[in-house]
Each structure stands twice: as C-alpha cells, then as structure tokens.
C-alpha cells in the first residue's frame, strides 16, 4: 500500500488514493482491516491492543510508523533501526535512528520519521525501503560505555601510528588511484580471506 502524509507544522493528514482524498490523523491510524485481523489472531486479552500503523509523537514534527515488523533476537543481539544505507528516500523527512534491545524486548519494531517540509506531500511507497534493521552485538556499545579511553580532539592528538595509517589509506590511494571504488574492492577482498 502506498500512503501519503501531509504536515502543516502541527496537523497531519493522510491519503491512500494518491492525494485525491485526505483524512486528518488524530492520535493514530490503523492499517486497513488490520484491527479485525489482529483481533481474530490474538488471544482475547490482547485482541484490542493492535499496534497502530502511524501515530503522532510528542514532537509535532515526528510521526511514528509501524511497518508490520515484530522483532526478537538471540541473547546479546540488538537491532539498529536506521534509514537504508546508500538510499535517499527524499527530502521530506529523515529517519531517526534508534537501537532496540530485541533480545529482551518483544513487540512492534517502530521507526520515527522527522518531517522537514510543511505543506508538501510525503509519499511512502511500497516499492521503496523505509528502514533498515541491522543486528549487532550489544558488546560493542557495552564495551564503549565502560571504556576508560577518552576521545581525542584536534589534529595534534594524532600519533605517528595514526598518521602512518592515514598515509596508507588516504595519501597512497589518492596518488595511485586508477578507478573509483577501490575501498569496496579491498573490503571485499579482506572479508573473503
């Protein structure tokens, strides 16, 4: 389903017929027929708690979208929700990145869209990805949070090893580059070892 949103700086409107008919978005909207489908599938005590397809947040310029994904991961794995890599959806909104610890939290995987243009329709198309979910080890940020290392600032903070690495990864490539994309080729070669 393709859905259009229009934001005037405060209110949202939505359309599923390419902007021919617009409806005001109150607090939230459901995907067509999903409430009934959820009610039939869920246990009776859960049946009335279907996640909304789109809902307003406390930030007037941010809309929360549920693309129909629920997530659970193995112990120690979290989900990084972000905009798709190397893909620009348009300038009408940006995806607010987030991390969800899906090893203990189970529920709808939501994405927040921060609208940037007032009075111009934003189209969420079914043939274009809205988000990317990247699983990663929670050890990565747990190690970072518990690290004693401080962040360096300024060029004077670079040591000889870092300047040597810069020389190898930047200067050498600039001097000997014969084609674009040599980083991608090198990265694939290193992974295949």
Q: Parse the chain into domains and list their residue ranges.
A: 3-145, 158-192
Which residues neighbour 68 within 8 Å (Cβ) at sequence distance 6 or greater?
Answer: 31
- Could you report the per-residue pLDDT of 92-103, keeping only the tens digit for each? 899 999 999 999
Average pLDDT, the chain: 89
Rounded Cα gap, residues 164 and 171, in angstroms = 10
- Could you report the per-residue pLDDT of 122-134, keeping only the tens digit for each? 999 989 999 999 9
pTM: 0.76
Which CATH topology does 3-145 take? Deoxyuridine 5'-Triphosphate Nucleotidohydrolase; Chain A (2.70.40)
- Could you report the per-residue pLDDT of 11-27, keeping only the tens digit for each? 999 999 999 999 999 99
Which residues neighbour 190 within 8 Å (Cβ) at sequence distance 6 or greater?
Answer: none
Q: Can you list the positions of beta strands (E) in 57-177?
A: 62-65, 70-71, 77-82, 93-96, 98-100, 107-108, 111-115, 122-124, 132-137
């Amino acid at each position: 389903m393709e859905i259009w949103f229009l934001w005037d700086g405060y209110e949202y409107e939505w359309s599923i017929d390419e902007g021919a008919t617009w409806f005001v978005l109150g607090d939230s909207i459901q995907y067509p027929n999903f409430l009934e489908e959820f009610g039939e599938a869920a246990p009776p005590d859960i049946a009335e708690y279907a996640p909304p397809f789109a809902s307003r947040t406390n930030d007037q310029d941010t809309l929360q979208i549920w693309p129909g994904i629920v997530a659970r991961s193995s112990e120690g794995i979290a989900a990084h929700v972000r905009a798709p890599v190397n893909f620009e959806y348009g300038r009408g909104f940006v995806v607010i990145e987030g991390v969800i610890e899906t090893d203990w939290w189970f529920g709808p995987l939501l994405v927040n869209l921060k609208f940037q243009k007032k009075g111009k329709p934003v189209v969420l198309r079914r043939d274009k990805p809205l988000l990317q979910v990247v699983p990663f080890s929670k050890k990565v940020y747990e190690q970072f949070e518990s690290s004693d290392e401080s962040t360096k600032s300024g060029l004077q903070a670079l040591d000889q090893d870092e300047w040597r690495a810069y020389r190898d990864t930047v200067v050498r490539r600039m001097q000997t580059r014969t084609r674009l994309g040599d980083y991608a080729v090198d990265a694939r070669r290193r992974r295949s070892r």
